[in-house]
Amino acid sequence: MHCVDDFDLAGFTEVAARFGQERYGFVVTPNVDHLIRFHEDAVFRAHYRAADYILMESQVAARLVRLIKGSRLPVCTGSDLTHALLSDVATAADRLVVIGGAHQQVAKLAAAHGLNIPHHDPPMGFITDPQAVENCLQFVEAASPFRFCFLAVGSPQQETIAHMLKTRGVARGLVLCVGASLNLLTGSERRAPLWVRRLALEWLFRLLQDPRRLAKRYLVRGPRIFMYLRHAKFELRKPVRAAEEPSSALAAGARKTTSSVP
């Protein structure tokens, strides 16, 4: 069963703005590759099921679900959400954290938005090194309570860290798994024009820019999604409408399914 929260960009930006720093929550942003991994990897499924919010990242996945399952899913991309939180929500007084990305990228974002952003960039392959993982977790926990923590270390590393932080129970604030958002927001990776994104062809734009890295992901692995979607079930969870959301456990129980598609 795939649960997706009924938030577009504007709707979730409002939720994130009022999340607060008294509790912990984390956000995952599924794309086609994540949906495939969800079906093939039990550990990854556990990460997703522990998430407080699941926001559909991919226009392609949303359109395939509509075509194959007949269900409309709202889209809220990680890069657009990251930009909205940095530019429209966060203030210079807020404590923010970024995990992953180059120092120059984080410095560029901080300067552009007038923010102070502590940054930790784990070494490549850190998720297999217990000490490197511990260093990463302790960095986030030491910065707690924070308003937002952006995990930009790729999937499934970022979901693993987010889930571990929840299990340890030390950190407070909203953690967002945002993948390659830093690359797109800082220009390290050119983002597709808006019209290309609206046609759900951003994947093709990225493939043409970096075929050596992305060909296997998009052309070999990606087509598996058709097989999995035929048998998948989706639930669109209705957002809680209140001045302040309850704790994550209660919030999950308070959501009602507005669409269940076999």
Tens of pLDDT, residue by residue over 199-239, are: 888 889 889 988 998 899 999 999 999 999 888 888 888 87
pLDDT at 43 over 70: yes
Q: What percentage of the chain carries pLDDT values higher than 70?
A: 91
Mean pLDDT score across all residues of the chain: 89
Angstrom distance (rounded) from CA 228 to CA 36: 7
Least-confidence region, from 12-21, 35-44, 47-56, 182-191: 182-191
**What band does 176 get if pLDDT is binned at 50, 70 and 90?**
very high
Q: Report phi then psi at 223, rounded to 5.
A: -60, -15
Q: Is the pLDDT of residue 84 over 90?
A: yes
Whole-angstrom distance, CA of residue 44 vs CA of residue 27:
14
Q: Which residues contact 111 (CB under 8 A, 6 or more apart)?
A: none
For residue 90, give the nearest of 119, 110, 120 by alpha carbon: 110
Question: Cα(29)–Cα(78) distance, rounded to whole angstroms?
Answer: 6
Share of the chain above pLDDT 90, in %: 71
Rounded Cα distance between 189 and 206, Å, is 9
Residues near 78 by beta carbon (within 8 Å), at least 6 away in sequence:
29, 55, 57, 176, 177, 178, 179, 181
The torsion angles phi and psi of 256, rounded to 5 degrees, stand at: -115, 145
Parent domain of 22 = 2-261
More confident call, 72 vs 140: 140
The three-state secondary structure class of 183 is helix
Domains: count for the chain: 1
Cα 253 from chain centroid (whole Å): 21
Question: Which residues is 24 bridged to in the sheet?
Answer: 173
What contacts 198, CB < 8 A, 6 or more positions away?
59
Assign 254 a pLDDT band (cuts: 50, 70, 90): very low
Report whether 36 contacts 224 (CB < 8 A): yes
